[in-house]
Chains A and B, each alone.
Chain A
Amino acid sequence: MSGTGERLLALAVLGAVLLNYPLLDLFAVDGHLFGLPVLFCYLFTVWGGLIGVVALLQRRRSRQRGPTAPPESRG
C-alpha cells in the first residue's frame, strides 16, 4: 500500500516540475510540432503521460489485491 503512495507522491513532484516554470519557458517558443504549437503539444503530452502512468500504477495495484495475497498490514 505505502509503496503506491510513495510512487504517486514522487510522480506528483515530477508532474509539478514538468508542468511549471522554468521548464515551460523552454517550450514557450514560436514553432510547430506536427503542425501544432510546441507549447500546446508539450502541455498535453506531459498531462496525458502523467495520467497514463497513474492509470498503470493504480490498475496494477488493484489487480494485485487478489484473495491469495497475504493479509496486508494496516496503514
Chain B
Amino acid sequence: MLAPWVVVLASSLYVALLFAIAYTADKLGDRGHSLVNNPYVYTLSIAVYCTAWTFYGSVGLATESGLAFLTIYLGPTLMALLWWVVLRKIVRISKLYRLTSVADFIAARYGKSMQLGALAAIIALFGTTPYIALQLQAVSSSFDVLLNFPQTQLDGSGWWLLEDKALYVVVLLALFTILFGTRHIDATERLEGMVVAVAFESIVKLVAFLAIGIFVTFILFSGPFELFRQAAADPRIQELELLTSLPGGYGSWIAMLALSALAILFLPRQWQVSVVENVDEAHIRTASWLFPLYLLVINLFVLPIALAGMIYFGDWVPADTYVLALPLAHDQNALGLLVYIGGFSAATGMAIVATIAVAIMISNDIVVPALLRLRRFSSEQRGDLARLVVTIRRVVICAILALGYLYYLLIADLFALVSIGLIAFVAVAQFAPPVLLGLFWKGACRRGALAGLCGGFLIWLYTLLLPSLAEAGVLGHFGLVLLADGPFGIEWLHPHALFGLGDFDPIAHAFFWSMLVNLSLLIGLSLLRPQQTDIERIQAALFVDVFLRSERDARFWQGSATVGDLQNLLARFLGYERASAIVHEHGEYRGRRLSETEQAHPELVHHIERLLAGSIGAASARVMVSSIVKGEALSYEGVMEILDATSRAIEYSRRLEQKSWQLEKATRELRDANERLKEVDQLKDEFVSMVSHELRTPLTSIRAFGEILLNNPEMDTGQRREFLEVVVRESERLTRLINQVLDLSKIESGSSEWQLEEVDLGRLAREAAEATQQLFTDRNTRLEVVIESEQTAVKGDPDRLMQLVINLLSNASKFTEPDYGEIELRVGDGHGDTVRLAVTDNGPGISAEDQQRIFDKFHQVSDLQAGKPKGSGLGLAICRLITDAHWGRIWVESEPGAGATFSCELPRAGGEHSTLTGFVDFAERNAARLSGSGAAR
C-alpha cells in the first residue's frame, strides 16, 4: 500500500514532465530543430494505439480467452504491411489538399460535401467518447488499487465529485490539449510538442510493461517455462483451455483481426498521428515494421502476467488490475508505482490525441460550416475569424473531455475495459468503405458514401450502443426487454442477433452487419446511380490518381475574383500579415507584384482555398471561396483537360529526364571506353618503342662492325676476329630477342591453345636443370636441385612450365659471378594448396625499387657490369605471364649484395583452378589488360 501523497506527487511530477517535454519540443520546433522529423518519433507516436486498454485490459481479456487478445495487435500488423500502399496515398492526398482529419478526408473525396464531413465527425465523436471514458476509468481505478490494495472492492461511499481523481485528470488533459493542441489555427501545421510528448509516453508505457512482465516471469516464477508449467497444472486454466485453444472460434478471430486492422487506420487519434502529423512519407517505411515490432514486444508478457495472476489471485482480484496487483502483493511498491505511471501514460496519451483529433473534426466539419450557414459570413463582413475558430476548438476540446467524463461517471464502470474499446472500433470501422474504396475507385459516389455511413452508423447504434446503454440500465424497462427478447419482444430484431444471426459475439455481429450495410449501400448506389456532379468527379479523379499528378494541377476556378478580395478572405482566418505574405509569395512565383484590384489567377484562388481548408476544413473552404469568386467553377471536363495536359507535360518531362539520364550514362560509358583505348594505345606505343630500341641496339653493333670490317680489309687478324665475334654475339642476341617477343605475344594471345595436363613439377625441374647444364658448366657455376615434397603435381602446359623454369635458371646464371656462382633450385609445398618452385642465387641481389618492376617488360636491372651478356628484359615478364596463366603467382625476395630468390607458386592439380577456365579467364584478363604485343597486331 502506498501513501496517497506519493501517488499524487508521482502523477503530478509525471504530468509536469509531460508539459515540459511538449513545451521544449514546441520551442525547438519553432527554432527549426524539429524533433518529430525522424521515423522513430513517428513510430512511437503511432504507438498511441496502445492505450490503458492494452496496458490493463489485455491481461483481463487473456484470462478469459487466452491468446485471442492478440488479434487486436495482429490486425494492425497486417495493416502495417499495407501502409506503404494505403497510408502513403492517404498522406500524400492529405498533405496536397491540406486535409486535417478523416472526416475532412471523406468530405473532400466526395465532392467536398458538408453533410458527409459532419456525419463522419459525429461518428468519430460517438466512437471516441466512450474510449476516453475508458481511459479515465483506467486511471481512476488503477489509482484506487494502488492506494487500497489488497482491499479491491470499493464501497463507493464518500465519492464526492471533488474527490474523484478522474476529474483532475480531465482538467489536466484539457489544459494540455488546449496548450499544445491549438497553437495554430491551421490544423495542418504540426503539433510537435504533442507528438513528442506522446512518443515519450509510448516509451514510458513500454518500459513499465516490460518491467512488470520481467518481474512476474523471471522473479516470481524463475522463467517462462516454470510459469507455463504451473499454469498447465492449474485446474481453472485447464478448464478454460487458455493455452491450447482460442475461445470464441473462427468468426470472432477473423472479425477482430479485420476490425483492429481497420482501427489502426481510422481511429481519429491514429489518423492524427500517422497522417496529419506525418513529416516525411519515407518515415512510413520504418514505421511499417517498427510499429508491429513495438506491438509484439509490449504483448510478449501479457499472457504470462495473466496466467500468473490467475495462479496467484484466482478470482478475488479483478483480472484488469493484475498488472498492478502482482507487484503490490509482493510488496514491490516502487514497481507498482512504475506500472501505475505506465498505465497513466497510456491513458493520457490516447486521451490527448483523440481529443484534439475529434475537436478538429467537430470544429472544422460541424461548427464552422454551421456558423457559415447561420450567420451568413459573407465576404463583406470583416472580423478576425481565426480567433473565433481557435476558441471554438478549445471549447470543443473541453466539451469532448467533459462528455467523456460524463460517460465515465454514468456507465463506464459497468463494462470491462475491452468491450468499450471494441465498441469504438466498430464505430470508426465505418470510415473504411468510403475511404478505402474512395482511394482506389473513382466511381464511388457521394450519395453512396453518405447512405453507407448512415446505414453503418445506425446499425452500430442499434446493435452496440443501444444494448450497452440498456445494460447500464439507462433505458429502463425497454432496455430489459430489448436485451431479453428483442425490441418489444420482436426476436429477429434482437440487437445481438439480427435476423436470428446469433452465433457471433456482439462485436463481431455488429461489425458484420454494419459493414455489410455500409458497403452494400456505397457500392450499390455508386453502381446503380452513377451520376456524379462535376466537383465529385474532379475530387475522385484527384484522389485516385494522386501519384500521377503534380501539386499545381488542380485548379478549377474559372470565375473572377480580385486579388484584394481573396487576400481579405485569407486574412480573416490567417491574419493580415500572413495573408499578404502569401499573396506576395504568389506574386513572386508569377514574376511580378500583384495589385489588389486585378483579377486573381485561378491558381491563386485554388491555393487560397487549400490554405483555408487547413484551417476550416475542405467543405467550408469551398463555400468561403465560392462566396467571393463570381461565376461558375470549371466543369469536370474542363478540369480534366487541364489535368491531362499537365499530366502529359509531366510524362513528357519525365521521359526527357529519363532520356537525358540515359544519354548521360552512354556518354560516360563512351568516355570511359575512350580512356581505356587511349591507355591501350599508349601501352602499345611504348611496347613498340621498347621493341624498336631493343632491336636497334644489337643491329647497331652488327652494322657498325660490318661496315668497319668492309672498309678495312687490311685489318689484322686478331682484331678482325674480335669484331666478327661481336657481330656473331649480337646476332645471337637479336635472334633471342625476336624469339622472346614472339613467345610473349604467343602467350598473351593464345594461351587457350595450350596443352593442359598433369605435370610433376619436381621431375620438370630436374629436366630443366639437365637441359641448362651446359650453361652452368660454361660459367663454372654450381647448381643444386632439391625436391622437398612427393606431391608436386600441378596442372598446366608442360612446355610453358619448362620455359618458366629455364628462364629462371638462366636468369640466375646470368647474375652470378663465373666460378663463384651457387644456384639452388628447390621444389616443395607452398602457401595453401600450391606447389612452390624457387630459384636462389648468390648474385649481387636486387634493390627494392627494382624488385617492384623486375617482372615488367624490358625492365633491366641497372648498373650491370660492362661486357656481360645483356638480357632482353623479357625473360621475367614471360615468367610472370606463365604463372598468371596457371593461376599462380611469382615474386622475388632479395637483399642487395646477398643474392636473390625467385619463387613461384602454382595451384596443385585437382584444385579449384586447375581447369581450363583458368586459361580462358586468363585470356580474357589479358585481353582486358591489352598488353602491347596483343594490341600491336
Q: In the complex the two chains form, is A8's CB within 8 Å of B78's CB?
A: no
Contact B296 A24 (CB under 8 A): no
Q: How far is the CB of A2 from chain B (nearest CB, A)?
A: 9
Does the CB pair B81–A11 fall under 8 Å? yes
Against A, the Cβ 8 Å flags (1 = close, 0 = not) of B746-772 are: 000000000000000000000000000
Partner of A36, one of B81, B228, B244, B296: B228
- With A35-B224, A40-B243 as given contacts, are A54 and B80 in contact (CB-CB < 8 Å)? yes
Min distance, Cβ B205 to any Cβ of chain A, angstroms: 20
Given known A32-B228, A50-B292, contact A58–B84 (CB-CB < 8 A): yes
B303 at the interface (CB under 8 A from A): yes
**CA–CA, A37 and B257, complex, Å:** 22
Residues of B in contact (CB 8 Å), total 45
* Smallest Cβ-Cβ distance to A16: which chain B residue: B78
- Number of A-B residue pairs, CB cutoff 8 Å, is 112
Knowing A20-B257, A43-B67, the reply to whether A35 touches B81 (Cβ < 8 A) is: no
Q: Are A19 and B300 in contact (CB under 8 A)?
A: no
* Binary CB contact string for chain B from 645 to 662 against chain A (1 if under 8 A, 0 otherwise): 000001000100110011
Residues of A within 8 A of B286 (CB): 58
What CA separation (Å) do A39 and B228 show in the bound complex?
12
- Does the CB pair A15–B257 fall under 8 Å? no
Interface residues of B in 202-253 (CB under 8 A from A): 224-225, 228-229, 232, 243-246, 250, 253
A5 interface residue per 8 A CB criterion: yes
A48 at the interface (CB under 8 A from B): yes
Minimum distance in angstroms from B281 CB to a CB of chain A: 11
Determine whether the beta carbon of A28 is less than 8 Å from that of B81: no
Q: A43-B70, A58-B286 are in contact. Are A35 and B85 (CB under 8 A)?
A: no
Which A residue sits closest to B245, measured CB to CB?
A28
The answer to whether B285 touches A62, judged by C-beta atoms less than 8 angstroms apart, is yes
B 366-392 to A, binary, CB cutoff 8 A, 1 in contact else 0:
000000000000000000000000000
Which residues from chain B contact A47 at a C-beta distance below 8 Å? 74, 77, 292, 296
Within the complex, which residue of A15, A19, A51 is in contact with B296, where a contact is CB–CB below 8 Å? Answer: A51
Tell whether A70 pairs with B292 under 8 Å between CB atoms, given A4-B84, A15-B78, A20-B257. Answer: no
Task: Say yes or no: is B406 at the interface (Cβ < 8 Å to chain A).
Answer: no
Say if the beta carbon of A66 comes within 8 Å of chain B: no
The 8 closest A-B CB pairs, nearest first, are: A35-B225, A75-B547, A55-B289, A12-B81, A54-B289, A58-B285, A37-B243, A71-B657
Report yes or no: B253 in contact with A20, Cβ–Cβ below 8 A: yes
The complex places the Cα of A54 from the Cα of B78 at a distance, in Å, of 11
A30-50 interface bits toward B, Cβ cutoff 8 Å, 1 = contact, 0 = none: 111001110110011001101
Tell me the complex Cα distance, A55–B886, Å: 46
Cross-interface CB contact of A51 among B77, B228, B282, cutoff 8 Å: B77
Provide the bound-state CA to CA distance between A4 and B88, in Å. Answer: 13
Within 40-78 of B, Cβ neighbours of A (below 8 Å) are at 66-67, 70, 74, 77-78
Q: How far is the CB of B835 from chain A (nearest CB, A)?
A: 44
Distance (Å) between the CB of B442 and the closest chain A CB? Answer: 15
**Contact in complex: B650, A74 (CB < 8 Å):** yes
A-chain residues with CB within 8 Å of residue B250 when the two chains form the complex: 21
For the complex formed, measure the closest distance between the CB of B636 and the CB atoms of chain A, giving whole angstroms. 21
Rounded to whole angstroms, the CA-CA distance of A62 and B284 in the bound complex is 11
Interface residues of B: mostly helix, strand, loop or mixed?
A: helix
For the complex, is B20 an interface residue (Cβ under 8 Å from A)? no
Please, could you name 17 A-B residue pairs with CB atoms under 8 Å apart, sorted by A?
A4-B84, A9-B82, A15-B78, A16-B78, A19-B74, A28-B244, A28-B246, A29-B244, A30-B244, A35-B224, A40-B228, A51-B292, A54-B80, A55-B289, A58-B84, A58-B288, A70-B658
Contacts of B243 in A (CB 8 A): 30, 37, 39-40
Contact B85 A51 (CB under 8 A): no
Find chain B residues with CB under 8 A from A4 CB: 84
> Does B225 contact A36, Cβ atoms closer than 8 Å?
yes
Chain A residue with Cβ nearest B83: A8
Instruction: Please give, as numbers and ranges, the residues of chain B lying within 8 Å of A11 by CB-CB distance.
Output: 81
CB distance from B279 to the nearest CB of A (A): 15
Complex CA gap A48/B73 in Å reads: 12
Residues of A within 8 A of B548 (CB): 74-75
Task: Choose among A15, A31, A36, A62 the residue that contacts B77 (Cβ–Cβ < 8 A).
Answer: A15
CB within 8 Å of A: which B257-308 residues: 257, 282, 285-286, 288-290, 292-293, 296, 300, 303
Residue B708 is within 8 A (CB to CB) of chain A in the complex: no
A6 CA / B10 CA spacing, docked (Å): 49
**Bound Cα distance from A20 to B225, whole angstroms:** 26
Q: Is B254 an interface residue (CB 8 A)?
A: yes
**Which one of B80, B84, B293, B657 has the greatest number of beta carbons of chain A within 10 Å?**
B84
- Cβ of B661: which chain A residues have Cβ within 8 Å of it? 70-71
- Identify which of A36, A54, A61 gathers the most chain B CB atoms within 10 Å of its CB: A54
The chain B residue with its CB closest to the CB of A11 is: B81
Q: How far is the CA of A29 from the CA of B282 in the complex (A)?
A: 42
Contact A39 B296 (CB under 8 A): no
> Given that A37-B244, A74-B547 are contacting pairs, would A51 and B293 also be in contact in the complex, using a CB cutoff of 8 Å?
yes
A12 to B79, CA, bound (A): 8
Q: A5 — nearest CB in chain B belongs to which residue?
A: B85
Which listed residue (B228, B254, B292) contacts A35, Cβ 8 A?
Answer: B228
Point out the residues of chain A lying under 8 angstroms from B225, CB to CB: 35-36
Bound state CA distance, A15 and B228, in angstroms?
A: 27
B288 touches A54 (CB 8 A): yes
Q: A39 CB to closest chain B CB, in angstroms?
A: 6
Taking CB atoms, residues of chain A closer than 8 Å to B296 are 44, 47-48, 51
CA distance A70 to B657 in the complex (A): 9
Q: A36-B224, A39-B244, A48-B296 are in contact. Are A8 and B82 (CB under 8 A)?
A: yes
Tell me whether A8 and B224 are in contact (CB under 8 A). Answer: no
Most B CB atoms within 10 A — which of A5, A39, A52? A39
10 further A-B pairs in the complex, CB-CB below 8 A; given A16-B78, A37-B243, A70-B661:
A19-B78, A20-B253, A20-B254, A24-B246, A35-B228, A40-B228, A40-B303, A58-B288, A61-B285, A71-B658
Expressed in whole angstroms, the Cα–Cα distance for A48 and B70 within the complex equals 13
**A58 and B289 in contact, given A8-B82, A15-B78, A20-B253 (Cβ under 8 angstroms):** yes
Q: Which residue of A lies closest to B545 (CB)?
A: A75
* Chain B residues with CB under 8 A of A59: 285
B-side contacts of A74, CB under 8 Å: 547-548, 650, 654
Q: Give min CB distance, B486 to chain A, whole Å.
A: 30
Complex Cα spacing A16 to B81, Å: 11
A residues near B78, Cβ cutoff 8 Å: 12, 15-16, 19
Q: A32-B228, A71-B657 are in contact. Are A12 and B82 (CB under 8 A)?
A: yes
Asked if A8 and B245 make an inter-chain contact with CB atoms under 8 angstroms apart, the answer reads: no
Question: Given the complex, which residues of B lie within 8 Å of A37, measured CB to CB?
Answer: 228, 232, 243-244
Would you call A73 and B654 a contact (CB within 8 A)?
yes
A45 to chain B, nearest CB (A): 11
Instruction: Check if A39 sits within 8 Å of B650, measured CB to CB.
Output: no
- Residues of A contacting B67 with CB < 8 Å? 39-40, 43
In the complex, what's the smallest C-beta–C-beta distance from A67 to chain B, in angstroms? 12
- Give chain B nearest CB distance to A71 CB in angstroms: 5
Chain B neighbourhood of A32, CB < 8 A:
228
Q: Which residue of A lies closest to B253 (CB)?
A: A21
Which B residues are CB-close (under 8 A) to A44?
296, 300
Instruction: Check B77 against A24 for contact (C-beta < 8 Å).
Output: no
| Distance of A11 Cα from B119 Cα, bound (Å) | 35
Could you tell me the distance in whole angstroms from the C-beta of B505 to the nearest C-beta in chain A?
Answer: 15
